């Protein structure tokens, strides 16, 4: 198993795309922090003050936006095998396909954790410098800021695992990435506002992620952090198992 993990790790670290995705995740996290702090107190903004626990947790949750990139990394990690036909030598070297999928899931989760740690550190640095300059005390423990940042890691790592499952379900790399982004940016927000089906919204991956980090918004009832964690974990396991089952049954392209 160790050689498989090394091989999968090498695939991630030797391709520029992984590093580019990390930079994109950092930029998005920083943008979320800057936007929330800069707009707080602006005319027409009804947000709570920067000293409020809910506001600080929401700012800390900006790091979780890296899940948009971790899910893409998970997709690319598996679909690249099909796109460039490296799946053939991969499964010739290791014919036990389940072990290959497990290795990819572990590496995807590890990449997600690394993304989360870096984005959380960047978020914490911006918060500490900016809020300190404004004379606002950050309740790292009392306001649950650190807990929110730890929750970010869970969210980002889980979405990387989901990406592996999506990549197995939709083998075409471009179609898989577009499908995932369309769902997260279009379909899930639509479900939130359509009365007939909006009751299902809290149990969807994006909403569950918001419940974990404390960044849930809107007037709809939402899950608490523990419930959101269990729901998101369920989605991750569902996609992981589905990917494993399909991989061992399908023909290798």
Q: Are 162 and 71 in contact (CB under 8 A)?
A: yes
Q: What is the pLDDT of residues 122-160, one digit of tens each?
A: 999 999 999 888 888 888 888 888 888 888 898 899 899
User: What does the pLDDT read at residue 121?
Assistant: 94
Mind listing the pLDDT tens digit for each residue in 35-58?
Answer: 888 887 655 565 678 888 888 888
Whole-structure pTM value: 0.85
Cβ atoms of 228 and 209 within 8 Å: the answer is yes
Backbone angles phi, psi at 15, to 5 degrees: -110, 135
Percentage of the chain lying above the pLDDT 90 cut: 13
Provide the mean pLDDT of the chain: 82
Backbone angles phi, psi at 124, to 5 degrees: -65, -40
Residue 217's pLDDT is 55
């Amino acid at each position: 198993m160790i050689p498989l993990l090394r091989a999968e790790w090498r695939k991630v670290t030797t391709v520029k795309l992984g590093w580019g995705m990390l930079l994109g995740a950092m930029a998005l996290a920083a943008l979320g922090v800057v936007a929330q702090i800069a707009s707080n107190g602006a005319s027409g903004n009804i947000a709570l003050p920067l000293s409020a626990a809910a506001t600080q947790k929401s700012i800390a949750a900006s790091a979780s936006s890296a899940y948009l990139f971790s899910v893409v990394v998970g997709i690319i990690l598996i679909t690249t095998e099909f796109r460039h036909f490296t799946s053939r030598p991969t499964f010739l070297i290791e014919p036990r396909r389940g072990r290959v999928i497990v290795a990819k899931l572990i590496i995807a989760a590890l990449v997600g954790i690394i993304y989360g740690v870096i984005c959380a550190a960047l978020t914490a640095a911006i918060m500490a410098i900016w809020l300190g300059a404004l004379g606002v005390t950050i309740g790292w423990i009392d306001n649950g800021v650190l807990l929110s940042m730890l929750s970010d890691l869970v969210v980002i790592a889980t979405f990387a695992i989901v990406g592996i499952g999506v990549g197995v379900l939709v083998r075409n790399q471009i179609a898989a990435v577009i499908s995932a982004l369309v769902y997260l940016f279009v379909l899930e927000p639509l479900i939130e506002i359509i009365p007939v089906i909006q009751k299902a919204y809290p149990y969807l991956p994006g909403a569950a992620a918001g419940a974990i980090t404390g960044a849930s918004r809107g007037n709809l009832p939402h899950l608490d952090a523990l419930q959101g964690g269990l729901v998101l974990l369920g989605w991750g396991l569902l996609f992981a198992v589905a990917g494993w089952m399909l991989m061992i049954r399908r023909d290798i392209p």
